[in-house]
Amino acid sequence: MRVLVVEDEAKLGVVLRDGLRRRGMGVDVASTGEEAVMRATATDYDLILLDVMLPGYDGFEVCRRLRASDVWSPTLMLTALDDVGDRVRGLDSGADDYLPKPFSFDELLARIRALIRRGSPPRPTVLTVGNLRLDPAERRVWRGEEELSLTAREFSMLELFMRHPGEVLSRFELLEHVWDDSYENRSNVIEVYVGYLREKLDRETIETVRGAGYRLRA
């Protein structure tokens, strides 16, 4: 396992580097945001430990830049700021987990193990299919430059389609993921909502696959 530690406090950087090396990991240390971006785009790290408060780019900016450059190494943010807003910002910038300082080394190791188990598949914070763009954090969706106004249910349904572009989703799958058990009148609700989405998007983007369900054109 190869880990990048991004930490500007030299002492903590050394503690992390030595502690992880003792557990058999290969560890590089970057002390600025710019250096972190440079190293993480050059080497395919299995994990990035990312401090938030850094000289130059802060941790949020580092994370955004890496994800925008298609770098999906699991990223654990470390910060002294035990602040809900910061945690939300960190996760929405593309980080996978968050650990406030001071932390126990055992917990850090457990989180590292959990993140490495999940691997590094692409997990964009903003979904893009064709000319559609959907931001789950901001609950906004655009077609080209035009922002669309969707209800909460329409948004959920489009999000599900955009997470499975080109795949046929059955009525049952759509019901299961977009509605919950409190919804009783299930007879034609999917048809109705697909109709609403088509009115707001267009007639072609969501195709009917006869006898199977619906598919978002990839």
Closer to Ca ion at the Cβ: 53 or 116? 53
Q: Which of 25, 115, 24, 121 is nearest to 71 (CA)?
A: 121
CA separation for the pair 53, 47 (Å, rounded) = 19
CA separation for the pair 1, 116 (Å, rounded) = 9
How long a stretch of residues is the chain?
218
- Which stretch in 53-61, 107-115, 127-135, 192-200 sits in contact with Ca ion by CB under 5 A? 53-61
- The site for Ca ion, by CB under 5 A, has a size of 3
Helix (H, G, I), strand (E, B) or coil at 127: strand
Q: Which of 4, 5, 6, 8 binds Ca ion (CB under 5 A)?
A: 8
35 binds Ca ion (CB under 5 A): no
53 binds Ca ion (CB under 5 A): yes
What minimum distance in Å lies between the beta carbon of 51 and Ca ion? 4
Closer to Ca ion at the Cβ: 53 or 127? 53
- Which stretch in 6-14, 65-73, 133-141, 199-207 sits in contact with Ca ion by CB under 5 A? 6-14
Instruction: Give the distance from CA 188 to its chain's centroid.
Output: 33
51 binds Ca ion (CB under 5 A): yes
CA separation for the pair 47, 59 (Å, rounded) = 14
Q: With contact defined as beta carbons under 8 Å apart, do 132 and 91 qualify? A: no
Closer to Ca ion at the Cβ: 3 or 141? 3
Closer to Ca ion at the Cβ: 8 or 86? 8
Q: With contact defined as beta carbons under 8 Å apart, do 201 and 148 qualify? A: yes
Helix (H, G, I), strand (E, B) or coil at 15: helix
Closer to Ca ion at the Cβ: 53 or 108? 53
Opening angle at CA 93, ends 88 and 97, nearest 5: 60
**One character per residue 148-187, x = contact with Ca ion (rule: CB under 5 A):** ----------------------------------------
Closer to Ca ion at the Cβ: 105 or 183? 105
Residues making contact with Ca ion (CB under 5 A): 8, 51, 53
